[in-house]
Amino acid sequence: MNTLNTLSGCAAGYDPQALPVSAAQAIVLQWVTPLAASERVPLRDAVSRVLAADVISPIDVPAHDNSAMDGYAFDGAALDAALDTASGAALDAAPGGTLTLTVAGKAFAGHPYTGETGAGNCVRIMTGAPMPAGCDTVVPQEQTEITSEDTGERITFAAKALTHGANRRRRGEDLAKDTVALRAGRLLRASDIGLLASLGFADVAVKRRLRVAYFSTGDELRSPGEPLDAGCIYDSNRYTLGAMLKRLDVEAIDLGVVRDEAATLAGALVRAAQCADVVLTSGGVSVGEADFMRAQLQTLGDVTFWGLAMRPGRPLAFGRIWSGGKPGAGHPALLFGLPGNPVATMVAFYQIVRPALLAMAGAAPQPVPLIPARCDVAIRKRPGRTEFQRGLAMRDNTGQWRVTPTGSQSSGALSTMSEANCFIVLAHEASGLDVGDAVDIMLFDGLV
């Protein structure tokens, strides 16, 4: 892997040589190798796991023709006798236009009707109950008039209100036996768990969980609950990273805070590579005097890029490190060196790291949808970098999405990230926006 330095010593401001976001995303995915190992887990533990193999339906779903309504099942051919089939119009005079049937029995889900239906008869049927032999149509109960006579209960309804085969679910119309129910690589959702249960599976083969080790760097960092010394700050990045990783259902390994000392940092990186598939760090990837990450990564592994044309999140390192402490020794782990500012850490994670983790876990990640909106304020931006501003989006009375930035866009202002419900995505080549201009937004729901 070649080492590319795209920071060019530019610690602040705009760097025209920084790598575009789209190029960085493509490079990262090229270096991802999906996990091969899999395991079987109970259905209750399978949500948010990645399906390891195609699931083939062992049965037809539904397993039999059944009723989609509470009503009365009968032979739909009887409709033809009540309708003028030549013109397709209902006859107004009796016997045309209406149909009267005698109720021969009842059918419930789990308790089918097994008797004979016969011409002129119907069966009282409940939703999900198997269709009785000889019946292929269901009239909803609310469309019928019921009368009781010495010969039994009878129903009458307008024949023109139905078509032959109405309100019947056919066997296998949802899934036919021996067809693919779910494809390998699917990130299992609640609906998928229900589908697997409906096919009779008690467990399912999934990819093993991706192991991700993470730590923060900096002498100034203190963990919540510790005394805050002069010049120190609480470490929010580890907690943010832990929460974002939890949403992805990976095996997250918190290695704490690592001090700004070269040997200590090197040891932490090697330990992380030894126990994880991916290593995430926050801080120490700029060009300050106490930022040792760059030198250590070049010693322990390879670096593909150092900086992105992205705001926030410009100082971001990507490469790999080796568990043996030098290139080629032991096994490699992908390394993402995230910036230290908390919002920059989150933006870098969602735009660069998250798709890579999903792909490495064996999933087929889909791009997060961009939604068109109108900007309610003017926004300044220079071409040559992609910006992800925090925004508050809502629909107006016409259904149009409108968006406004949530105050300070400083990469250290977590409060405005907390207030936001979307990213305002300002494309690489775009200039600023005027009031009312169209812009894409990326909603947090399901993402953050």
Q: Which residues touch 196 (CB under 8 Å, ≥6 apart)?
A: 43, 46, 55, 181, 182, 204
How many whole angstroms separate alpha carbon 228 and alpha carbon 249?
32
- Residue 363: is its pLDDT beyond 80? yes
How many whole angstroms separate alpha carbon 317 and alpha carbon 265?
15
Task: Tell how many helices (H) and how many strands (E) occur in the chain.
Answer: 9, 28
Confidence tier at 8 by pLDDT (50, 70, 90)? very low
Confidence tier at 158 by pLDDT (50, 70, 90)? very high
Strand partners, 175: 61
Phi, psi of 374 (to 5 degrees): -110, 135
* Mean model confidence pLDDT for the chain: 89
Give the gyration radius of the chain's Cα atoms: 32
How many whole angstroms separate alpha carbon 92 and alpha carbon 4?
84
Phi, psi of 285 (to 5 degrees): -110, 10
Q: What share of the chain in percent tops pLDDT 70?
A: 91
How many whole angstroms separate alpha carbon 315 and alpha carbon 329?
27
pLDDT digits (tens, 9 = 90+) for 183-197: 999 999 999 999 999
Half-sphere exposure of 166 (CA within 13 A, CB side): 17
Domains along the sequence of the chain with CATH = 21-37+208-360 (3.40.980.10), 38-61+173-207 (3.90.105.10), 66-169 (2.170.190.11), 371-443 (2.40.340.10)
Q: Which of 54-58, 114-118, 198-202 has the lowest mean pLDDT?
A: 114-118
- Residue 393: is its pLDDT beyond 80? yes
pLDDT digits (tens, 9 = 90+) for 99-128: 999 999 999 999 999 998 988 999 999 999
Give the pLDDT score at 285: 65
Give the pLDDT score at 295: 78
